């Protein structure tokens, strides 16, 4: 077995690598240092093997295409397990397997799986290397595609290893693409021992173990133990014309506009405003000594959904992926430029599987969940505070999703505990980011349904406990950019115009905006959101801010039914907020359900 000269002084890490090597039997062990030279070697290797395809160097320098196996193109929630000693600790929100059974199953799959392959040791840091809020991990993988993606998505290599060698604990992640057989594909999480095992997939969050596996499922468990929050949230800084910047964290399910909001371009009507991107997907939020909540982005890059990205929808994202980007499952033009639905210019010649494109087929040329991987340093709106060791102070938290006729454009929770209810009851229409039917409304608390590493009831309790520690907690809001009229048209223009809503949110945080109280929370008055220059039909704002109490009565019944599955474990403080809302709505059925808990 060949070995690279780099190794480690950390005895625990060295022993683990040896154990994995004996199990998987690779031809070679490569310790990854994260250098540019290493990255170039791996890319050249994958170009030679056909794992990567070089795209048009004139139009997209340094860009490459990776085509997944057609059966390996999204998260596989039904094959993703949380393995705690007690099933109740994983909760009904997770698929559970006993740790002993899970290890036996996975070790059987990993036995000899790297014969003829290279075992890559990938040390990484989630968050700025100098930050005490960051956490480290090591992924062992046999996929060079994973290595080059992890270099863009995390602080990967020598600096991370040095932090581990200074005594930092680390999450152990073991991955192999295996045979890419869907019948032999599992992603196991062991939060109590900080371990991940993933076999049989080369796709995104199934294989890039620093992302959803570590930064959310394992980190959410760590956060509960240590007193902070690991959340599926963007972090954005909003700078006003006076030069003041305030930060907002927002939780939306995948493909619901997180990246677009994180990189929002102020509209022409908002000269002097600037948007600064701290992160587009994950936030780690820590109570500070000053009584505020402080956030870091554990990631160093973007693994974004590319369909729909255009100069109109997200100019910053569109610009940053014109160079030094890895595309996954997009189509290509005749001259080998990447192409996807919503790009507007160009015409696909081959679809995401490399087949000649037939425009009459009725099928998308790019896969609906096709992705781009790119370093955050290429984002024109990257925040100057992105690497701040202390993070940034959060003024507001926003929850949101796709609801065509229920949720108003924006409303504010009465206080932190009511805000936890707003997040816990959140629902959205499903998208292509997960396998299964699309357009189905499902309950997705805090956009963490696929990602919370323990029982949701305990998670809601933890949110309540964190809020109790804060002297100056962020205000909590709910937004819905996707409300539709009777003709199925979106009422709100969205994109850059969302800044108008963010302005109201921040004004509320500073006591400078008017609102009216309703059973579900505080809504803007009809003139509170700046509408100057907006092209909307007459009565649009009234429709956007309307609260249909009959629909909300049904919604609260649905939330009550969702809470039912957690039994007595659901926190009483949350149920108090639930009963307060249903009482205000006059929903007898929901009141009776709430009274029974």
* Whether the predicted pLDDT of 499 surpasses 50: yes
pLDDT, average across residues 354-376: 95
Determine contact, residues 552/523, Cβ cutoff 8 Å: no
Q: 269: how many CB neighbours lie within 10 A of its CB?
A: 15
pLDDT for position 333: 98
pLDDT above 70 covers what percent of the chain?
Answer: 96
* Whether the predicted pLDDT of 257 surpasses 90: no
pLDDT digits (tens, 9 = 90+) for 301-335: 999 989 999 998 899 999 999 999 999 999 999 99
Could you give the CA distance from residue 106 to residue 104 in angstroms, rounded to a whole number?
Answer: 6
Higher pLDDT, 473 or 488: 473
pLDDT, the chain, mean: 94
Closest by CA position to 60, among listed 319, 303, 260, 311: 319
Could you give the CA distance from residue 186 to residue 527 in angstroms, rounded to a whole number?
Answer: 52
- In angstroms, what CA-CA distances link 549 with 6, 524, 580, 584? 64, 17, 14, 10
pLDDT, average across residues 105-118: 98
pLDDT digits (tens, 9 = 90+) for 172-194: 999 999 999 999 999 999 999 99
* Whether the predicted pLDDT of 350 surpasses 70: yes
pLDDT for position 415: 98
pLDDT for position 255: 65
pLDDT, average across residues 241-264: 92
Angle at 334 between CA 328 and CA 337, to 5 degrees: 40
* Whether the predicted pLDDT of 420 surpasses 90: yes
Least confident of 257-261, 284-288, 345-349, 489-493: 257-261
Question: For the chain, what are the domain ranges?
Answer: 2-31+76-226, 52-66+298-385, 231-296+386-547, 551-595
Binding-site entries for Mn(2+): 212, 232, 281
User: Residue 33, exposed/middle/buried by CB under 10 A (0-12, 13-18, 19+)?
Assistant: middle
* Whether the predicted pLDDT of 596 surpasses 50: no
Select 52-66+298-385's CATH number: 3.30.70.270, 3.50.50.100, 2.170.8.10, 3.40.47.10: 2.170.8.10
Least confident of 102-106, 170-174, 251-255: 251-255
pLDDT, average across residues 82-110: 98
pLDDT digits (tens, 9 = 90+) for 548-573: 999 999 999 999 999 999 999 999 99
pLDDT for position 134: 98
pLDDT, average across residues 488-498: 94
Least confident of 217-231, 259-273, 351-365, 575-589: 575-589
Higher pLDDT, 141 or 439: 141
pLDDT digits (tens, 9 = 90+) for 430-453: 655 555 566 677 899 999 999 999
Binding-site entries: 75, 203-205, 212, 232, 254-260, 281, 369-371, 402, 495-498
Catalytic residue among 32, 125, 256, 509: 256
* Whether the predicted pLDDT of 593 surpasses 70: no
pLDDT for position 4: 67
452 is catalytic: no
231-296+386-547 sits in which CATH class?
A: alpha beta
pLDDT category at 2 given cuts 50, 70, 90 is confident
Could you give the CA distance from residue 248 to residue 501 in angstroms, rounded to a whole number?
Answer: 12
Axis-axis angle for helices 572-585, 588-595 (nearest 10): 160
* Whether the predicted pLDDT of 364 surpasses 70: yes
What percent of the chain is helix, strand and coil (3-state, nearest 5)? 30, 25, 45
pLDDT, average across residues 17-42: 98
pLDDT, average across residues 41-68: 98
What CATH superfamily is the domain 2-31+76-226?
A: Phosphoenolpyruvate Carboxykinase, domain 1 (3.40.449.10)
pLDDT, average across residues 207-212: 97
pLDDT for position 387: 97
Least confident of 72-86, 555-569, 576-590: 576-590
């Amino acid at each position: 077995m060949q070995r690279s000269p780099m190794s480690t002084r950390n005895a625990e890490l060295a022993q683990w690598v040896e154990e994995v090597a004996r199990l998987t039997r690779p031809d070679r062990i490569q310790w990854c240092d994260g250098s540019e030279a290493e990255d170039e070697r791996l890319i050249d290797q994958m170009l030679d093997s056909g794992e990567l395809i070089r795209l048009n160097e004139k139009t997209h320098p340094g860009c490459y295409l990776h085509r997944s196996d057609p059966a390996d193109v999204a998260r596989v929630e039904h094959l993703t397990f949380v393995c705690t000693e007690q099933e109740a600790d994983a909760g009904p929100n997770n698929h559970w397997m006993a740790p002993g059974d899970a290890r036996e199953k996975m070790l059987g799959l990993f036995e000899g799986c790297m014969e003829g392959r290279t075992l890559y040791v990938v040390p990484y840091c989630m968050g700025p290397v100098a930050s005490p809020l960051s956490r480290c991990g090591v992924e062992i993988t046999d996929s060079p595609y994973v290595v080059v993606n992890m270099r863009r998505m995390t602080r990967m290599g020598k600096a991370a290893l040095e932090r581990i060698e200074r005594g930092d604990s680390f999450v152990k992640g073991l991955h192999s693409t295996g045979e890419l057989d869907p019948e032999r594909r599992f992603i196991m999480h062991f939060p109590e021992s900080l371990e991940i095992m993933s076999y049989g997939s080369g796709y995104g969050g199934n294989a890039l173990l620093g992302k959803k596996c570590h930064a959310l499922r394992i980190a959410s468990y760590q956060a509960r133990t240590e007193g902070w929050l690991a959340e599926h949230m963007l972090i954005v800084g909003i700078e006003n014309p006076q030069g003041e910047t305030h930060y907002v964290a927002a939780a939306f399910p995948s493909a619901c506009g997180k990246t677009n909001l994180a990189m929002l371009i102020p509209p022409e009507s908002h000269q002097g405003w600037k948007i600064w991107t701290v992160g587009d997907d994950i936030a780690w939020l820590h109570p500070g000594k000053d009584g505020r909540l402080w956030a870091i982005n554990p990631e160093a890059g973007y693994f974004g959904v590319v369909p729909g990205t255009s100069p109109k929808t997200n100019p910053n994202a569109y610009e940053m992926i014109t160079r030094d980007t890895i595309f996954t499952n997009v189509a290509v033009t005749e001259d080998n430029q990447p192409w996807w639905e919503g790009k507007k210019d160009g015409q696909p010649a081959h679809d995401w599987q490399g087949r000649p494109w037939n425009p009459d087929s009725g099928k998308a040329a790019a896969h609906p969940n096709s992705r781009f991987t790119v370093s955050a340093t290429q984002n024109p709106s990257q925040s100057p505070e992105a690497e701040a060791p202390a993070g940034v102070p959060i003024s507001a938290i926003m929850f949101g999703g796709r609801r065509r006729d229920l949720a108003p454009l924006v409303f504010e929770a009465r206080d932190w505990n009511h805000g936890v209810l707003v997040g816990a009851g959140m629902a959205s229409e499903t998208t292509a980011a997960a396998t299964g039917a699309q357009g189905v409304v499902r309950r997705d608390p805090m956009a963490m349904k696929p990602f919370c590493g323990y029982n949701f009831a305990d998670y809601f309790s933890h949110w309540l406990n964190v809020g109790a520690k804060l002297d100056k907690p962020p205000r909590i809001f709910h937004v819905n950019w996707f409300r539709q009229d009777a003709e199925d048209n979106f009422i709100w223009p969205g994109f850059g115009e969302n800044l108008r809503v963010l302005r109201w949110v921040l004004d509320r945080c500073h006591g400078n905006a008017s609102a009216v109280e309703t059973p579900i929370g505080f809504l803007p008055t009809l003139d509170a959101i700046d509408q100057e220059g907006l092209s909307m039909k007459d009565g649009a704002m009234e429709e956007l801010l309307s609260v249909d109490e009959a629909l909300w009565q049904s919604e609260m019944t649905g939330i009550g039914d969702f809470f039912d599955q957690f039994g007595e474990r659901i926190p009483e403080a949350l149920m108090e907020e639930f009963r307060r809302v249903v009482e205000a709505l006059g929903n007898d059925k929901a009141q009776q359900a709430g009274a029974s808990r």
